[in-house]
Each structure stands twice: as structure tokens, then as C-alpha cells.
Amino acid sequence: MMIVEGSPQSGHFGRKTGPKPKFSTADAVEAALNLGLDRFTFAAVAKRLGVTTASLYRLFADRAALVDAALARIAGELEAPSASLSWQDQLRKYVDDVWGMCERYPGFPVALIHHPGGHVHIKRYVNTMVERMLAAGFQGGPELAAFALDFLGDTALSTYVGVQEITSVDESGVPMMEQAKARYNADPEPGPAYFEVNENWLGRGFLDVKVEFVLAAFGDAQVREVTLEHFRRLAGG
């Protein structure tokens, strides 16, 4: 969905004072994305565009409005997987797409988590996904299909954030991976092999294992019924 300058879709209105800015909403969004969606400031965006900070307020009421416009831009890149795929492969493709967005746009997962309602920009995409999943044989109805998307999306986002942290270095240049290993190995209490800090935590971590586990669960009639029962209880208050 395209956000038009000052449009109601953005949820925020800029201050229409002073001369018309010499940059567009798209320019500001691009600058924010390049700076990092979780850390950009109006001052940094303005400097990158070669304009004053005050001029940004003609298009965006505040930082949250610019974040929202950037999330709308990212959401617009999502394309629902082919309807010819099985519902399992559609969900695998969805996870790959979410992971790819995290890689392309620094700070995207953190910004999304800290921007309540940001998922509004993928409503049309979700509706298409749900329709195609059901047509491909997904059992449980539209609510369970939407839950599958939410569950796997959250799993991909949180896993990406975790991998980013473990592959970073602290202020003194010490890799976080080495620090995690040292803390784990210093504890004399034995633990399951799954929790050992090793190279399996890198790359996509255990994301693909988690995805296959979730897909198997959604394919199980008993698991689906238990989940739907929880939905019914929530709906009933």
C-alpha cells in the first residue's frame, strides 16, 4: 500500500507550514531504511537528505509516522506464494520472505515489535495467503490459517533478532558468541545438548527445525482442535 503525503492511511498528518519541501515521502522513507529502522532520528534523516529537521514535519507528525510509512513500504514488497504450492510450501516461502526482509532492512524486526498496529499494512497479503492456504487443503479454517502466519512470522522475527545479537561484538570488540560460550561453560550444572552454545546458533539458527515442527503440528487434527478450542474460549471471554 502506498502512503501519500499527509494521507489518512498514514495515521499521522504533517504540519503544513512553510514552503513545500524539496523531497518526497519516499525519499524520507528510503533514508530511514538505510539508517536503520530501529535507530534513525529525524536529525539523521534530514542530514542524509540535505534538508532541515523542521522540513520533515511537513510530511510526518513525528518519528512514529515515518516508521509507519517505512513499514508500509516494506509490506508492499510482500508477494503471496503461488497458489499452486502446497500449504506447507506456502508457509515455508512466507518464512523465507520474512527472513529476507529482516536481512534487507536493518532494524526492521525491532521496529515492528515496537510499533503497535504495524501489521495493518499486511492485511491484504494475509487475506490472500489465507485464501490460498485453504484452497491448498489447509484444515482448520481462516482463523487457524491466520494464526499459523502469525506464529511463524513471530518465530522468524525473534530468531533473526537473536542471531543478530549472538553474531555481534560488544564495545570492546569481544564477540557475543564467545561471551555466551564462556557463561554457559562456566556453569557446572549440566544441560541438554540443545542449549549448548555452538555454530548451530548462527545463520538461521534453529529456525528451519522450528518451522518443520510447527508445520507438522498444524497437520495434526488433534493439535488443530485443541488450538481452535482455545480460540473459542477467548471469543467467549
pLDDT in tens, 127-141: 999 999 999 999 999
Cβ-based burial of 76 (10 A; exposed 0-12, middle 13-18, buried ≥19): middle
What DSSP designation does 40 have?
-
Rounded distance between C-alpha atoms, residue 152 and residue 88, angstroms: 12
Rounded distance between C-alpha atoms, residue 69 and residue 9, angstroms: 9
How many other C-beta atoms are found inside a 10 Å radius of the C-beta of residue 218? 22
Torsion on CA atoms 71, 38, 66, 44, rounded to nearest 10:
-140
The torsion angles phi and psi of 10, rounded to 5 degrees, stand at -70, -20
**Range of lowest pLDDT (4-8, 58-62, 150-154, 164-168):** 4-8
pLDDT in tens, 25-81: 999 999 999 999 999 999 999 999 999 999 999 999 999 999 999 999 999 999 999
Better-scored residue on pLDDT, 133 or 15:
133
Rounded distance between C-alpha atoms, residue 161 and residue 94, angstroms: 18
Q: With cut-offs at 50, 70 and 90, classify the pLDDT of residue 153.
A: very high
Rounded distance between C-alpha atoms, residue 163 and residue 120, angstroms: 26
8-74 CATH, one of 3.30.1950, 3.30.1360, 1.20.120, 1.10.10 = 1.10.10
Domain residue extents for the chain: 8-74, 82-167+202-235
The mean pLDDT value for 152-163 works out to 94
Q: Do 29 and 69 form a contact (C-beta atoms < 8 A)? A: yes
**SS3 call for 80:** coil
* Most confident by average pLDDT, 13-22, 85-94, 197-206, 225-234: 85-94
Contact residues for 136 (Cβ-Cβ < 8 A; gap 6+): 83, 85, 86, 87, 90
**SS3 call for 1:** coil
